[in-house]
């Protein structure tokens, strides 16, 4: 699957024409979640669907955490019911401050 041209600026370090959106979907999803603007993110959810995008995010979130912390914190709101604490334990999504 060829990616639309308006995504090319996100992949300036790569040969954009060689990226297959189907084979490299995890790479594409993580890149757009991290660097994409509103139009690019809308395309991402229309193309791959919220379920697949969420699965890729969760795999990274609970795994190697390759996404930048700022992106993880933003998308955590959308996809994670019980966020990880700094020590890796689960904590309630919303909690009172004391």
Task: Find out whether 60 and 30 touch, Cβ atoms under 8 Å.
Answer: yes
pLDDT value at residue 91: 56
The rounded distance, in Å, linking the Cα atoms of 6 and 76 is 26
pLDDT value at residue 86: 67
Residues 27-78 have pLDDT tens digits of 999 999 999 999 999 999 999 999 999 999 999 999 999 999 999 999 999 9
pLDDT value at residue 84: 72
The rounded distance, in Å, linking the Cα atoms of 30 and 60 is 9
- Measured in Å, how far apart are the chain's first and last C-alpha atoms? 51
């Amino acid at each position: 699957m060829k990616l639309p041209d308006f995504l090319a600026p996100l992949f300036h370090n790569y040969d954009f024409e060689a990226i297959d959106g189907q084979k490299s979907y995890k790479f594409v999803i993580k890149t757009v979640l991290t660097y994409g603007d509103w139009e690019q993110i809308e395309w991402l959810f229309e193309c791959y669907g919220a379920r697949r995008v969420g699965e890729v995010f969760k795999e990274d979130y609970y795994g190697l955490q390759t996404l930048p912390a700022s992106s993880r914190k933003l998308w955590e709101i959308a996809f994670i019911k019980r966020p990880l604490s700094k020590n890796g334990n689960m904590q309630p999504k919303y909690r009172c401050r004391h």
